[in-house]
Amino acid sequence: MIPLAKSPDPATSKPSLLAAIYLVTLSFAGFDDYLSVQIAYDLPDTDKLWNLALSATQQNLHKPDFATLQTVILLLVAPSQDLLMPDYSTKWSLVGTMVTISQTLGLQFDASHWKVTPAETELRKRLSWIVEMIDVWHAAALGRSCLIREDDWLVPEPQLADFSDQERQTTMPKHFIHMYKLTMILRQVLITLL
């Protein structure tokens, strides 16, 4: 979701964010010619990556920033360490942490009229949408109520105009908007059933 020009720089990014990125992307390394050979001989320890990202994130909870939130998001979408016995309690507590960090950063508000840069406004909207979707899908998967109340989240839903011209030349914005709309339908179903 973050444009390529704004991708994290390994030299300056927080170790927790980099560990979470590596954790998520590790399952795709086998599709790269170079990396598939590298991991055949020296596979990174996913438990260590998970623990590094999680412990560093917990240390930053007193003063969270966008990198802290992105780390939690990546941990929530990362493949489970044990597919036969997923740790649902940790995931659900991470959803709560994600929502708390989001509200601490003010992502429940529409920042389009704030005195922040357009890049930050764009990042805030995208993170807000992603947080909403992760909350709903984890609530559905775990049989819980959503932690975010619809009337407390004041960010308008995504539109094609929220994406750059370069992004609109791909199918990503349309797929993202459809996924968001599907998520909001699921939220209504959860509200009705729970």
Residue 157 pLDDT more than 70? yes
d(Cα 58, Cα 71) in Å, to the nearest integer?
Answer: 11
Residue 57 Cα distances to 36, 46, 51, angstroms? 29, 16, 10
The candidate with the shortest Cα–Cα distance to 110, out of 157, 161, 158, 155, is 155
Token pair recorded at residue 194: 């729970």
Nearest-10 crossing angle of helices 46-59, 66-77: 150
What is the distance between the alpha carbons of residues 187 and 183, in angstroms, rounded to a whole number?
6
Is it the case that residue 105 has pLDDT exceeding 70? Answer: yes
pLDDT at 88 over 60: yes
Q: How confident is the model at residue 81 (pLDDT cuts 50, 70, 90)?
A: confident
pTM: 0.88
Q: Express the helix, strand and coil content of the chain in percent, nearest 5 each.
A: 65, 0, 35
Least confident window among 39-53, 97-111, 146-160: 39-53
37 pLDDT above the threshold of 80? no
Q: Answer whether residue 29 shows pLDDT above 50.
A: yes
**Angle in degrees, CA 185, 187, 191, rounded to 5:** 120
